[in-house]
Amino acid sequence: MGLLSAPAGVDKREYWGFSLYDWANSGYVTTVGTVLFAPYLTSVAESAACGYVGTADKPCHTNLDVLGLGISPGSLAFYVVTLATLVSALFLPVVGAIADRMTRKKLLMCGFAWAGALAASSMVFVGGGRWALGALLLFIGNLCLGSSLVVYDSILIDVAPPDQRDAVSSRAWAFGYAGGFLLLLVNLAVVTAHDALGMSQGTAVRLSLLSAGLWWGLFTFIPFLRLRDRPPVSVVQVRSGSLVRQSFGQLSATLKHLRNYKMTMLFLIAYLFFNDGIQTVISVSSTYGEKQLGFETQVLIATILLVQFVAFFGALAFGRFAQRYGAHRTIAGGLVIWIVIVIAGFLLPAHQIVPFLAMGTAIGIVLGGTQALSRSAFSQLIPKGREAEYFSLYQAGERGTSWLGTLVFGLVHQLTGSYRPAIVALGLFFVIGLALLVRVDMRRGIDEAGNSQPTVV
């Protein structure tokens, strides 16, 4: 447990409260967002559009009618994620501004978490032709996840001093992978043994979705009880008027303020690109494996379990690398590996499980580390008192809320009828993100934000 214990200078009670929110929300991120819901919603939508569930040998090419638009059932889930993120771009800056002015910041975080958990639990009712209900619940769940993470990420600055943020962020991310792994392991057993348990595979999937919502909601009580409230130091003013007016006004004010911090802005733009690539790979991996490569649900869950297991150690290893080489260089190295992964994904043969597992192992090595270190590195570049406000912009491209990547993936699939060109198109996001990241001068950015310099950046 030494690798997971609280670093020196960090309050143990708050460390566990902070870390276990990653444990809590990873039940939703993994079971719902990564593995089960996109393929399940696709199957429900395909049944409604074509009268049967599409396969690699017999795909469904009939579109759904959504407000007069023809939507491919295979692209539906990715368009919903895209819409949720576009709405988040307007909504999250208001959430961030409110959080920076609140004394009970943890209550705001947990309130959004519990609302998202309720939406996830309600996915148990998505069946038959109720693809529209599934789309709505996915939209609500992703919006609530992003809102809770805006507040959560800003709490990192309260919990950890500058020299310990890489370690705390990496260890919390490792806890998230451990929690996601355990819940997904149980769900794998339920889905695999559905016949022995006297239920259909669809019922087993719906019960797994319910378990993710309950996991998220119940474990959120731990950070609610262990995190401390602090008086706000923000100078941010929440604008009056309707929510839409507040959203546009706050987003405009935040972007104007950001322009004064060149390195912070450059890091954020780089992050939005490469994290879009990461999040899209995560969200489309199960659909790609099932619809393009022809794997059964049990194989997909087993592969994600492997990713979660490897990512637990990968996050800790990246934290160690950051202590020696700095978060900036460690993230850049991870992005090079991501580019190789996307190219390899395009070349994967169908129905060949060993290459698929090898790619999953590679993803696990870099997945948690690049995200955890990005969070801690960005925290060093934020002006004091605007933590949640700035993390609201950060969260617009955070996990489960990527928008341009899912849009590109969905459009390329709809235009080509294949997921292979869609997956390779994601490599552009990593190339652009890396090119921008190498131009970030971290020490200059920390000075511009008025923060203390850590020993290694």
**Which tens digit of pLDDT belongs to each residue from 307-331?**
889 999 999 999 989 988 999 999 9
Q: Which two structure tokens, joined as six digits, stand for 300?
A: 């997909």
* pTM across the whole model: 0.80
Distances, alpha carbon 258 to alpha carbons 248, 263, 265, 391, 396, in Å: 15, 10, 6, 12, 15
Q: Which two structure tokens, joined as six digits, stand for 9?
A: 């200078």
Q: Compute the distance between CA of residue 288 and CA of residue 350 in angstroms, rounded to an integer.
A: 10
pLDDT (0 to 100) of residue 1: 44
pLDDT (0 to 100) of residue 401: 45
Q: Compute the distance between CA of residue 332 and CA of residue 344 in angstroms, rounded to an integer.
A: 19
CB 179 within 8 A of CB 186: no
Q: At residue 179, what is the residue type? A: G
pLDDT (0 to 100) of residue 251: 66
Q: Quick one: CATH architecture of 1-229?
A: Up-down Bundle (1.20)
Which regions in the chain score pLDDT beneath 70?
1-3, 56, 233-251, 396-403
* Residue 170 CB contacts under 8 Å (≥ 6 apart), including other chains: 315, 316, 318, 319, 322, 368, 369, 372, 373, 376
pLDDT (0 to 100) of residue 15: 93
pLDDT (0 to 100) of residue 224: 96
pLDDT (0 to 100) of residue 222: 96
Q: Do domains 1-229 and 259-456 have the same CATH topology?
A: yes
Residue carrying the six token digits 């959080």: 99
Domain ranges of the chain: 1-229, 259-456
* Residue 435 CB contacts under 8 Å (≥ 6 apart), including other chains: none
**Which tens digit of pLDDT belongs to each residue from 221-246?**
999 999 998 887 655 555 556 555 65
pLDDT (0 to 100) of residue 399: 46
pLDDT (0 to 100) of residue 400: 41
pLDDT (0 to 100) of residue 299: 85
CATH T-level fold of 259-456:
Growth Hormone; Chain: A; (1.20.1250)
CB 118 within 8 A of CB 220: no
Chain centroid to Cα 330, Å, comes to 20
> In 3D, which of 55, 34, 53, 36 has the Cα closest to residue 45?
53
CB 153 within 8 A of CB 375: yes
Q: Which two structure tokens, joined as six digits, stand for 345?
A: 């994904």
pLDDT (0 to 100) of residue 265: 94
